[in-house]
Structure 1
Amino acid sequence: MDAPEIADDTVTLRPERSQSGFDGYSVWVDDERVGSVALRQESRSTWSIRWNVGTGEHAVRWAIHAVGLAADHVLGELGAGRVEARIPVDRTADVRAASICGLRKEGVLRSAPGEQDRVLMARLASDPPARSRDGFIAILNAGLPTKRVIAQGLWRDEAGRVLLCELTYKQEWDLPGGVIEVGESPAVGLARELREELGLDVTVGDLVTVSWLPAWRGWDDACIFLFDLGTADASITATMTLQPTEIAAVHWCDPATVHERATAAAAQVLDAVAAGTPTYRESAPAPD
């Protein structure tokens, strides 16, 4: 293999014979071979990287140096625009090492039964340095967990009944609202959802409560922000333009109807509101 050695003050990457389309390097610390790194060109501007430096006491440190050298080589000397790695999900130390080297988590690639899912991580030539402020924040943003946020509205008529939406995609009725978009505040998102689904511009009032909703029927857990929408004349429903793909009908519901038709989470939060709900609450697990 006609390639130079690559080294820093800790490890040296020495070229080895290419195999299966990969350019191989052995990883050396002092005079000891501790592992290997392999590179492969996947497209005109994208290279992949894989490595193995074992699981010993210094493995993470060696991986950080080896992967960092290889990634710098690909994006620098080889002129690539992207270097990526696909790491088995149980190799958390390797995921950490790749992150320290500036590779951002882009998702989890699902595998066929009997095989292991893999974390997809990548670094672009245009990314800020991993140890810069912007680079550090970007890497954390890519790897930190996210929480689904839902905003819903508590809307009553003059008789004290609560507005519930009859949905097209589940049997239970629910409070008006929906999932908040990335970068959107819960209050703004609720106003958008009411405009999209009910065809009305509504003033969103004060926050009533925040509820944590456990995972349910395959849905991930979420935080629900419940806002006060005030009191409206019951006839307002006749002026609504319902989004047909999501809302089949709307109904003013008394407590008995709420318990008969609403989702468990909606019924629980409305009971809590009637009893004087705290600012924060956690919904009980719903029946499957």
Structure 2
Amino acid sequence: MALNEHEAKMAHPRMAAGALFFDAAGRVLMVEPTYKDYWDIPGGYVEMGESPLQAAIREVREELGITVPLGRLLAVDWAPNDTEGDKILYLFDGGQLSPESLAGVTLQVEEIKGFEFLSPRGISERTIPRLGRRILAAIEARSGATPIYLEHGQQPKGLDA
């Protein structure tokens, strides 16, 4: 189907969704992917016909082998990538993992080498800067009542904090 001039200007962003899980000390669960040179959170791309929340739940199930309810949206980040184009990323609150859920973690070995709960400093040391900023902003948003809007992991200038 041919696009008209208006449709040709429309963005067609890729969407991804993930979850932040915490331990009793407030550290964040991070995974070590087999296909990246930095640590990430459980999550991945939204598939056709799937909502970002459904994608986050599916990705957690696939990567960690657990099905847990996710809480509210913490952050939305517009983060285009030179190789992938426009991207919109959603982070949901997974809450504190229960001992039962943690004991049930079975890693998808084709994609995930390991996992660890990391402090904010550990997050910044093991991941790329904009993902680190996104995670830290979402942690901060967790104590508030509303999600945070980000661009490249940062709140744009001019928006009220």
Equivalent-residue separation in structure 2 for 1:220 and 1:153 (angstroms): 22
Q: How far has the Cα of 1:275 moved from its partner?
A: 4.2
Question: Residues 142 and 274 (structure 1 numbering): CA distance in 2 closer, same or farther, change over 3 Å?
Answer: closer
Amino acid at match of 1:197: E
1:268 maps to what in 2?
A: 133
Out of 84, 87, 90, which is 1:225 matched to? 90
> Which residue does the alignment assign to 2:108?
243
Please give the TM-score of this superposition, normalised by the length of structure 1. Answer: 0.47
Greater strand share, 1 or 2? 1
- Distance in 2, matches of 1:268 and 1:203, equals 25
Which amino acid is the alignment partner of residue 92 of structure 2?
F
Q: Which residue of 1 aligns with 2:48?
A: 182
Per the alignment, do residues 144 and 168 of structure 1 end up closer, same or farther by CA in structure 2, a change over 3 Å counting? same
Matched residue type, 1:281: L
Q: What is the rounded CA distance, in whole Å, between the counterparts of 2:61 and 2:139 in structure 1? A: 27
The root-mean-square deviation of aligned C-alpha atoms, in Å, is: 2.6
Tell whether the 8 Å contact from 2:131 to 2:153 is kept in structure 1 after alignment. Answer: no
1:165 paired to 2:31: yes
Q: Distance in 2 between matches of 1:266 and 1:239?
A: 26
Aligned pair in 2 of structure 1 residues 251, 163: CA closer, same or farther (>3 Å)? same
Q: Deviations over 1:215-245 (max 9, x none)?
A: 15x2323101110111114674442111111
Contact 1:156–1:232 (8 Å) recurs in 2: yes
Q: Please tell me the residue identity of whatever aligns with 1:189.
A: A
d(CA) in 1 for partners of 2:57, 2:45: 12
Q: In the alignment, what sits opposite 1:198?
A: 64
8 Å CA contact 1:153–1:177 kept in 2: the answer is yes
SS of match in other structure, 2:20: strand
Say yes or no: does 1:255 pair with 2:120. Answer: yes
Stretches of structure 1 that go unaligned for 5 or more consecutive residues are 1-103, 106-120, 122-135
Other structure's SS at 1:271 match: helix
One-letter code of the match for 1:192? Answer: R
TM-score normalised to structure 2 length? 0.80
Partner of 1:118: none
| Deviation for aligned residue 1:145 | 4.1
Q: Aligned partners of 1:254 and 1:227: how far apart in 2?
A: 18
Q: Is the 8 A contact 1:212 1:281 kept in 2?
A: yes
Deviation at 1:144, TM superposition (A): 5.1
The percentage of aligned residue pairs carrying the same residue is: 37
Question: In the alignment, which residue of structure 1 is the partner of 2:152?
Answer: 283
Contact 2:17 2:90 (C-alpha < 8 Å) held by counterparts? yes
